[in-house]
Amino acid sequence: MAARFRVAVVGATGEIGRSVMDGLLSNPEQFKYNPVSQEVFALVRPASVNKLILSTFTARGAIVTPTDFGATDSLAIALTGIHIVISCLTLLQQKEEITLIEASSKAKVHRYVPSFFGPKEDTLDCIKRLYLPYTVIDVGWLYQLSLPQLPSGRIQTKAEYSLNDFVGDGDVPIALVDIRDIGKYVARIVADPQTLNKMVFAHGETWTQSQIFDTLEEKSGENIARKNLSKQDADTIISDVYKSFRTNPTGMEAVASLALIQYRVCLGIRGDNTVEHAKYLGYLVGKELYPDVEVVGLKMFMTEMLEGRVRAIYSAA
């Protein structure tokens, strides 16, 4: 019989959190601590308990727990008896991330999965200083943020997050993943003893932006304008953002702007987001660990988008 775990997800109503919850709730034999209670917890702020998405989780057996994320001691009490904590917080919630790490250490959580949107090294340093057992899970850039908008409007994306323009020359390989597949990987990774105190990279396929644009034009029959963001342009944006930091060091808008432009540089100019570079950094690779995990191909995802069968992320739904 597979080992069974009590798992708490923080940030369960966000885009990544929804996928993680789905992955956990799709494996009840592994994440059920006893025959009568499903042991997947969604820890949410009291103001969020009435969100519609939470009712879909409870219908599948999850337990929604209103939680105060502002105080380490009370949060540690809420985490008592939890085996695995999975953080799906955003990069704008670093203070809450650190509090969650400290509370998990006090509660003697068996495994902590940090949010790794950034700043990554600060987060991991905090975990290691506390000798908190952990698993880092990094993923490819999302399919849902990889397709350009179509002139017809059949595909519309959140422009500030998406790769609507070529970054660099458009010919740099980028590891990608369907957000729906993240939860599948997470459910396998957190239950695997060989990933404890390790880093894992999970992805679906590797494409260049040129390949994405060409393929989408072929499948849609539409012409897509190609605008380039050069390294020089990116450097100028980064310099301007740092200037705003000096006038407002805690401004969340500047933090978000810096993160988004650095993501673009990482993906399309530096070419950091590949399996080869992940291995260099010491990551295990999800596809090699779990070759039986079925992932969605990007071409299929394009078809689903064109037919309106995929929910746009960062929507109100």
Which residues are known to be catalytic?
120
Which residues are CB-neighbours of 29 under 8 A, at least 6 positions away? 2, 4
Which residues are CB-neighbours of 261 under 8 A, at least 6 positions away? 234, 237, 238, 241
Residue ranges in the chain assigned as alpha helix (H): 15-25, 52-59, 72-79, 94-106, 120-129, 179-190, 209-220, 231-247, 252-264, 275-280, 286-289, 298-306
Cα separation, 280 vs 27, in Å, equals 32
By the 8 A CB rule, do 112 and 82 touch? no
Judge residue 285's burial from the number of C-beta atoms within 10 Å of its C-beta, 0-12 exposed, 13-18 middle, 19 or more buried: middle
**What are the helix and strand counts (H, E) for the chain?**
12, 15
Q: Among 24, 9, 92, 13, which Cα is nearest to 50's?
A: 13
Ramachandran category for residue 168: left, alpha or beta (phi over 0 → left; psi -120 to 50 → alpha): left
